[in-house]
């Protein structure tokens, strides 16, 4: 995929590294040439110097042929304008904008722009880590569902995945055993020391703890 990243700060350079590692063609745009130093010597993609609000700069970055764009500058306003341009003018299939101010995220979503509200995500993540020590929250999946990890203790050894399933609320999606991760079936037997990844409705945390003993 051809991915364009607007902004080469910590988030932009980190995202460029991850996307390149996954085999994508990456182009990074920034107004400061010095910012590209954060990409490191291993970066093999393109860099374009200029303002992401400038149509000529976006054309130079080959946005017309891009499969995805992420606007991650320090300005919410710039990010949303660039994202809207990418979606409505250049018809980029996948567009996401970084949003710092939480109240803006809902407004931008109504405009058809997918956002990552970093402040909201950080608050939620910290709250989960502080309040649920028995369950390691790996990631939120939307507003109501979470992906958590837990270790299987001896009392559950020999029980099946079915025993830890509540339809519509709790589902084991993966098991890590002996350093290898696999997708289980309902009949898969659990072993002591297994690390299970569970998709659950956030409100079911207490039920999950009970199931895990």
First to last CA, the chain: 45
- State the pLDDT confidence band at 26, using cuts at 50, 70 and 90: very high
pLDDT at position 114, please?
80
Structure token pair of residue 164 = 């830890």
pLDDT grade for 103, boundaries at 50, 70 and 90: confident
Whole-number Cα distances in Å, 194 to 80, 128, 147, 148, 208: 43, 22, 16, 14, 16
**Chain mean position to CA 31:** 26
- pTM for this structure? 0.65
Q: What percent of the chain has pLDDT over 70?
A: 91
pLDDT digits (tens, 9 = 90+) for 150-195: 888 888 889 999 988 999 999 999 999 988 999 999 999 999 989 8
d(CA 26, CA 20): 6
Please give the residue that has the higher pLDDT: either 118 or 146.
Answer: 146
Rounded Cα distance, 84 and 71, in Å: 10
146 pairs with which residues across the strands? 140, 200
- Rounded to an integer, the average pLDDT of 33-58 is 95
Place of tokens 């374009």: 48
Return the minimum-mean-pLDDT range out of 92-101, 119-128, 140-149, 176-185: 119-128
């Amino acid at each position: 995929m051809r991915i364009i990243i607007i902004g080469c700060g910590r988030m932009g350079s980190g995202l460029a590294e991850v996307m390149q590692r996954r085999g994508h063609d990456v182009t990074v745009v920034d107004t400061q040439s010095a910012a590209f130093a954060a990409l490191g010597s291993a970066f093999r993609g393109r860099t374009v110097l200029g303002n992401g609000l400038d149509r000529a700069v976006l054309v130079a970055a080959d946005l017309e042929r891009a499969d995805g764009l992420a606007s991650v500058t320090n300005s919410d306003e710039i990010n949303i304008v660039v994202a809207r341009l990418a979606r409505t003018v250049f018809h980029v299939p996948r567009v996401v904008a970084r949003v710092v101010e939480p109240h803006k995220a809902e407004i931008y979503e109504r405009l058809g722009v997918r956002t990552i509200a970093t402040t909201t995500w950080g608050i939620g993540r910290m709250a989960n880590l502080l309040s649920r020590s028995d369950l390691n929250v790996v990631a939120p999946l939307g507003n109501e569902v979470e992906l958590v990890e837990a270790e299987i203790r001896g009392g559950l050894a020999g029980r099946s995945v079915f025993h830890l399933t509540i339809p519509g609320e709790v589902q084991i999606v993966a098991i890590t055993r002996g350093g290898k991760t696999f997708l289980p079936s309902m009949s898969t037997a659990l072993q002591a020391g297994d690390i299970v990844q569970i998709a659950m409705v956030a409100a079911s945390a207490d039920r999950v703890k009970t199931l895990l003993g």
